[in-house]
Amino acid sequence: MKPTRRDVLKGFALAGVGAAVLPGCGAIPERQPWPEARWEPSGSPDAEVFPLGAQAGEPGPDRLYAVAKVVAEGTVTLHYALFVDGQWQAQEPVEAQRDEHGPFVRAWVRDLPSDTSVALYFSVEGGARSPVVSARTCMAEGQAGSIRLLLNCCDHRSGRPLLALSNALAFPEVDAHIHLGDAAYCDGSLTVEEFGEIWQSTLELQGYQDLFSHCAGIYTWDDHEVDNNWEFEELDPQLIENARIAMHQHVPLPRDAEHPDRLWRSLRFGDVAELFMLDCRGERDRPNGRYISEEQLQWLLDGLSRSTATWKLIGNSVPMSSLPGPYQAPIAINDTWHGHGDGEQRRRLVEHITSNGLEGVLVLSGDYHMPALSRLDPEGPGFGLWEVISGPGGSAPNPIGLLMDPDDQIVYLDAARNIMVLDFHSDGTARIQMVDEDQRVRLDATLDVYGELLAFESHRVADDPPEP
């Protein structure tokens, strides 16, 4: 009988290659306690001074990043409290830094304890303050346990009030929210101010405000943060820079002074997971057949090889899977890994993962407005690798999710606004849930690090009884 990928990877583990984690072995360690009640400082939030509230993001084991829009003069201070010994304990405030391009502030909070709940808010001279938002520092390297991540993309404001994002509140103990692009649809904008107007009209919606209040955010971009299916060769570099400025102002995505255009980076959640967040839009080089820069690709290959985390998550934007039917049309292929250099970089990535016996690799993607759980390829090495595709949070669902039927490769696809809830465990299992805007769980699946589908339940929109 032909060995399965699970058999092959167990062989690698026994030979000392990769992390020898066998799913289901042993109890999952407890984490630091989570608060049952929110921190309630004095005073009430001022929505006129802080029209977008506040946001926390980029969690690390000892730090968090926070941003806000502030329509008032004066010094802005970031206040925060830690949940320690069963109670909220206020810490020494941090002075926020004003943005040079507009009424925004940002601040890092450093030297925090790992695996700890943090509550934050901004205030300005005169007493006005933002709402309180919640975050969690990551577990330290060497710590095992379980983490919960939320996943979404494509939040066109036409889907107001973005109920799918508000459903995050139904899931407690969230470590972070991952956004895979198209957080705002800025098509046609030219100036920083015009981009900012679209961001404002999107982030002020209730779904985003609920999400901000609940957990820290981790962001990358896709096309609509700039323009639909944009290419470097077609746009004024200043327009792209204006789009970058507006994005960094409005979401907790710090801009590196040494590499101001670099979005790719990794975030580590103890020994449970490492997230490799990619930039699959801003480094495309179509004339030379590159979907991402060679520097970014080599960083990813090296990082996957070095990582000792049980789960290695690739934060992608446009899906990597070889999907059939309409997704094979030239206009669709053109925007994917396959459409650059005949997919050569994708082949190198898949080959690197499979030939080195790297287990626990899971691709996270968005863009298609169609939630799905798919193997990367219908056959060959990519058949043993999985991709979770988030549907839209606010944009119109893609009817292709209803017109195509699931098969051995694409075990689930649908057409609904949603948020994905991902639970990763250091025993080598992961639970994937798709929750639609009406709080119905339409997908509930469990994978292991060897690519085995251990449990699966789905109820697609197409399975709903007809309305009377």
| Tens of pLDDT, residues 273-295 | 999 999 999 999 999 999 999 99
Q: Are residues 301 and 338 in the same domain?
A: yes
In a domain, 444, yes or no: yes
Domain limit, last residue, from 93, 122, 137: 137
In a domain, 6, yes or no: no
In a domain, 25, yes or no: no
Q: Are residues 308 and 245 in the same domain?
A: yes
Pair of tokens at residue 17: 């290659």
Check whether 25 has a pLDDT greater than 90.
no
Q: How far apart, in whole angstroms, are the C-alpha atoms of residue 212 and residue 172?
A: 14
Q: How far apart, in whole angstroms, are the C-alpha atoms of residue 27 and residue 293?
A: 41
Q: How far apart, in whole angstroms, are the C-alpha atoms of residue 170 and residue 245?
A: 33
- State residue 385's pLDDT score: 98
Q: Are residues 405 and 320 in the same domain?
A: yes
Asked whether the beta carbons of 133 and 120 are under 8 A apart, the reply is yes
Q: Which amino acid is at 55?
A: Q
Check whether 252 has a pLDDT greater than 90.
yes
Q: For residue 436, what are the domain limits? A: 141-460
CATH number for the domain including 204? 3.60.21.70
Residues in the chain: 468
In a domain, 19, yes or no: no
Q: How far apart, in whole angstroms, are the C-alpha atoms of residue 226 and residue 31?
A: 40
Strands 87-90 and 76-84: antiparallel
| Tens of pLDDT, residues 293-306 | 999 999 999 999 99
Find the distance separating the first CA and the last CA of the chain, reported in whole Å.
Answer: 51
Q: Are residues 338 and 433 in the same domain?
A: yes
- Report which DSSP code applies to 404: S
| Tens of pLDDT, residues 205-243 | 999 999 999 999 999 999 999 999 999 889 999 999 999
- Dihedral of alpha carbons 96, 191, 213, 425, sign: negative
Q: Are residues 215 and 109 in the same domain?
A: no
The helix (H) or strand (E) run that includes residue 445 is strand 441-448
In a domain, 20, yes or no: no
| Tens of pLDDT, residues 172-201 | 999 999 999 999 999 999 999 999 999 999
Q: Are residues 205 and 220 in the same domain?
A: yes
Closest CA to 318 of 220, 446, 445: 220
Check whether 19 has a pLDDT greater than 90.
no
Q: Side-chain half-sphere of 163: how many Cα atoms within 13 Å?
A: 8
| Tens of pLDDT, residues 88-115 | 999 999 999 999 999 999 999 999 999 9
CATH number for the domain including 127? 2.60.40.10
Using 50, 70 and 90 to split pLDDT, how confident is the model at 26? low
Q: Are residues 132 and 170 in the same domain?
A: no
Q: Are residues 162 and 111 in the same domain?
A: no
In a domain, 169, yes or no: yes
| Tens of pLDDT, residues 135-145 | 999 999 999 99
Closest CA to 223 of 342, 395, 376, 104: 395
Q: How far apart, in whole angstroms, are the C-alpha atoms of residue 216 and residue 133?
A: 8
Q: How far apart, in whole angstroms, are the C-alpha atoms of residue 360 and residue 379?
A: 19
In a domain, 104, yes or no: yes
How many domains, the chain? 2
Using 50, 70 and 90 to split pLDDT, how confident is the model at 393? very high
Domain limit, last residue, from 100, 116, 137: 137
Q: Are residues 374 and 226 in the same domain?
A: yes
Q: Are residues 88 and 226 in the same domain?
A: no
Q: Are residues 80 and 209 in the same domain?
A: no
Which range among 9-23, 57-71, 153-167 shows the weakest confidence by mean pLDDT? 9-23
Check whether 14 has a pLDDT greater than 90.
no
In a domain, 325, yes or no: yes
Asked whether the bond before 392 is cis by omega within 30 degrees of 0, the reply is: no
User: For the whole model, what pTM was predicted?
Assistant: 0.94
Using 50, 70 and 90 to split pLDDT, how confident is the model at 28? confident
Domain limit, last residue, from 114, 137, 160: 137
Q: Are residues 292 and 191 in the same domain?
A: yes
Q: Looking at residues 324-352, what average pLDDT do you find?
A: 96
Q: How far apart, in whole angstroms, are the C-alpha atoms of residue 228 and residue 234?
A: 12
SS3 290: strand
Q: Looking at residues 345-366, what average pLDDT do you find?
A: 98
Q: Looking at residues 22-39, what average pLDDT do you find?
A: 77
Closest CA to 302 of 21, 310, 294: 294
Using 50, 70 and 90 to split pLDDT, how confident is the model at 30? confident
